[in-house]
Amino acid sequence: MPDDNKGFWSTLPGVLTAVAALVTAGTGAFLALRGSNASPGGPPASQQSPRQEPASTQAPEPVQPERFTGPMGALEQGVSYSGGDIYDRPASSAEQCATLCANDDRCRAVTFIISQQRCWLKGSINPAQYSNDMISARKHD
């Protein structure tokens, strides 16, 4: 007489449970290796705050472009204000990035990532961190 007692993992619910577990584990491993801290339903990785480079011990000198005037302060070469993001946009220069902030009432500061040509508008100003790949500016109070 054949044995009709099948184990859980050989039944349809068992197989579906195993597949779901593998998909969940694979997705978690992918996100962890990618360095993403996005939560389900959160912004895509392209809209998350820039990664930070190790802090430098020496503060860079601010860059003062002569043609840049308005509500923004001096461009600060090598400075990043991480966190407090409102949104990010492509930008061709730090000056263009600062202009985006100057025209947005919510914006308090910007950080321009040179290598990515990306501008991050900030709704709050957190302590400065230092990175050779970034230029930031604060809005005058």
List the beta bridge partners of residue 29: none
**pTM across the whole model:** 0.53
72-92 mean pLDDT: 92
CB 32 within 8 A of CB 39: no
Enumerate long-range contacts of 90-96, CB under 8 Å, 24 or more apart.
Answer: 90/117, 90/118, 90/119, 91/117, 91/118, 91/119, 92/117, 94/63, 94/135, 94/137, 95/65, 95/67, 95/68
**How is the chain split into domains, by residue range?**
46-138
CATH architecture of 46-138: 3-Layer(bba) Sandwich (3.50)
Report how far Cα 32 is from the mean position of its chain's Cα atoms: 15
- What is the pLDDT, as a whole number, of residue 87? 93
pLDDT: is 25 or 35 the higher one?
25
pLDDT: is 37 or 112 the higher one?
112
Residue 10, φ and ψ in degrees, nearest 5:
-100, 5
Q: What is the mean pLDDT of the chain?
A: 75
pLDDT: is 66 or 20 the higher one?
20
Percent over 90 (pLDDT), the chain: 44
Helix (H) or strand (E) holding 33, with range, is helix 12-34
CB 122 within 8 A of CB 108: yes
DSSP state of 72: B
pLDDT: is 46 or 103 the higher one?
103
Query: Which band of pLDDT confidence, cut at 50, 70 and 90, is reported for residue 26?
Result: low
Query: Which band of pLDDT confidence, cut at 50, 70 and 90, is reported for residue 137?
Result: very high
